[in-house]
Chain A
Amino acid sequence: GAGVSQSPSNKVTEKGKDVELRCDPISGHTALYWYRQSLGQGLEFLIYFQGNSAPDKSGLPSDRFSAERTGGSVSTLTIQRTQQEDSAVYLCASSLVESNTQYFGPGTRLTVL
């Protein structure tokens, strides 16, 4: 079946602009995660959604970062007033709620000039 998909695959933006990154989880997966992969920080957890529960936002690095999940499926990660240190690959993953196994998408490479 179809895996996790993310769009765009690459995004180049100018410092100070807002960006939106999209994630489509595997059909039927109710848990959705965002991670960031950067040279300096490695792989970091950002945010976790599970059904209608309040999301776990403990990994968001600043209030410029936000995410939402509409209809329990698609998720959008928004970065406002981007900074150069936001340059990274943003990875989305999904899982069945009763499973401990997360499946990752191909990522969105964000470059902030």
Chain B
Amino acid sequence: EADIYQTPRYLVIGTGKKITLECSQTMGHDKMYWYQQDPGMELHLIHYSYGVNSTEKGDLSSESTVSRIRTEHFPLTLESARPSHTSQYLCASSELRESYNEQFFGPGTRLTVL
């Protein structure tokens, strides 16, 4: 069973607030990802990391930022939340190898910005 955790699970916050969504994994995976998913829709990659001190933007433009100071931790930050940021944010991780690099997903954070 995958050991990847996200907190908080649910967050309702006002416009303009700074928020950080936490993601941690205990599998020692080098690769980590952040996806944004609206209800009933597909997953959009917004950030990923190959390892410590490595971060890249994904296919979907996002106003969020990420950091990777430790292998197990990949937090996502929104400096100033807006209603358009309302969505579910899923964190995932995988091993750094060419084959069989299946991704393990955390339970997600459902964010509502009022």
Chain A bound to chain B: no
User: What is A's interface to B at a CB cutoff of 8 Å?
Assistant: none
